[in-house]
Structure 1
């Protein structure tokens, strides 16, 4: 899926660039730089470096937002706000965890805030499942019904469980990374994922 280009244009301390002020082009293309160098340059106020970081990570961040929120429009809003937050707070990144983990934490916090403000949403089924060969009309109807059941089951999970489950089962992140992203201990993360798995297994029992 093509993610809309919503790269922020603000400054590392929250200030937006002044209209009409040109940023000099970097002598070396940001695309040729490693992530640590890009982060260091972004922390020095290099907009081009941050744009490259956003370009590298926005697809994964958008995918998480869609799976947690269930609505593409909401996911786009959450991603936009998360990228703006990251640009404003880039100076606080200390490298204690991977930059991607730091970005996941920001986008999941934005998703949580959005879910608390808005009405409950229906998570989208996994796109890989949607791409499955459905075969006969009868099989297609069965797949549609199963995906609808999964969407309902995901919708009924508390958002803390859903977020941990998405990061673990759909994004393949480790418990330590999820703990860093969500700000709760690994034991709590494991507990949330265990409860989410049990709830989904119970609700999907008829489809086994």
Structure 2
């Protein structure tokens, strides 16, 4: 395909072209969806290094298994399924439970892409925002892997439950149950944070100048396509 044809092609056409031997089709497909694939890997794995490994595992699997795509779901759903399962496989194998702070782009990637930093940010406000994100993500890390994956897809990425179930290759009821249990557990873990924020909302403590957006880095370009 020419660059123009790659740009106009549907996801399914790109996947078929890749299967037929087009050397650029899979890269174009990944580039089209890289932001959300990266967000899913990052939030599921918990840190950039492991997220990059999980994303690469998923892309290698998708690259090699493309010929087996049955077309019973959207290509993007299939890609997310492969990446999510690759990340879960890594978590199950390594029992990743790291304590280092996670990237501060949990909210920024919800809208896809990075947010430019405001030049008039108050460092104190940024510090509070960073601490809040760290506490939320630390709590998220304490959930069982399957609950975390369900919450990432449904609550953070905004996928319908049915689509998340297709990505995780489980029943809709299972995703609902995992999300319900995960939310209940997060509410317990984050109770002190929610109480503190409630106190901070009191007029006596309210900051009249809301903080500006926090700068976040771009997602990685992704691993080179396997040979």
Structure 2 residue aligned with 1:78, among 51, 54, 58? Answer: 54
Q: Figure out how many residues of one structure are paired with residues of the other and give that number.
A: 184
Q: Do residues 121 (structure 1) and 101 (structure 2) align?
A: no
Q: Once structures 1 and 2 are overlaid, which stretch shifts more, 119-128 or 36-45?
A: 119-128
> C-alpha distance in 2, partners of 1:86/1:59?
16
Q: What is the aligned partner in structure 2 of residue 93 from structure 1?
A: 69
1:141 Cα shift?
Answer: 4.9
> C-alpha distance in 1, partners of 2:22/2:134?
45
Structure 2 residue aligned with 1:172, among 135, 147, 158? Answer: 158
> C-alpha distance in 2, partners of 1:82/1:61?
9
For each residue in 1:98-148, what CA deviation from the matched residue of structure 2 results, as whole angstroms up to 9, or x when unmatched? 10110111111110111123232355551439x798976665554344333
Q: Which runs of 5+ in 1 are unaligned?
A: 1-24
1:28 Cα shift?
Answer: 5.5
Alignment of 1:149-188 (within 5 A): 149-188=135-174
TM-score with structure 1 setting the length: 0.77
Q: Which runs of 5+ in 2 are unaligned?
A: 110-114, 195-227
Q: What is the aligned partner in structure 2 of residue 103 from structure 1?
A: 79
The answer (yes or no) to whether the contact 1:69–1:121 under 8 Å persists in 2 is: no
The answer (yes or no) to whether the contact 1:26–1:48 under 8 Å persists in 2 is: no
SS class of match (2:59): helix
The answer (yes or no) to whether the contact 1:65–1:75 under 8 Å persists in 2 is: yes
Greater RCO (Cα-Cα under 8 Å, separation 6 or more)? 2
1:48 Cα shift?
Answer: 1.5
SS class of match (2:84): helix
> C-alpha distance in 1, partners of 2:121/2:69?
49
Q: What is the aligned partner in structure 1 of residue 209 from structure 2?
A: none
For each residue in 1:76-115, what CA deviation from the matched residue of structure 2 results, as whole angstroms up to 9, or x when unmatched? 1111121111111101112111101101111111101111
CA RMSD of aligned residues (A): 2.6
1:184 Cα shift?
Answer: 1.2
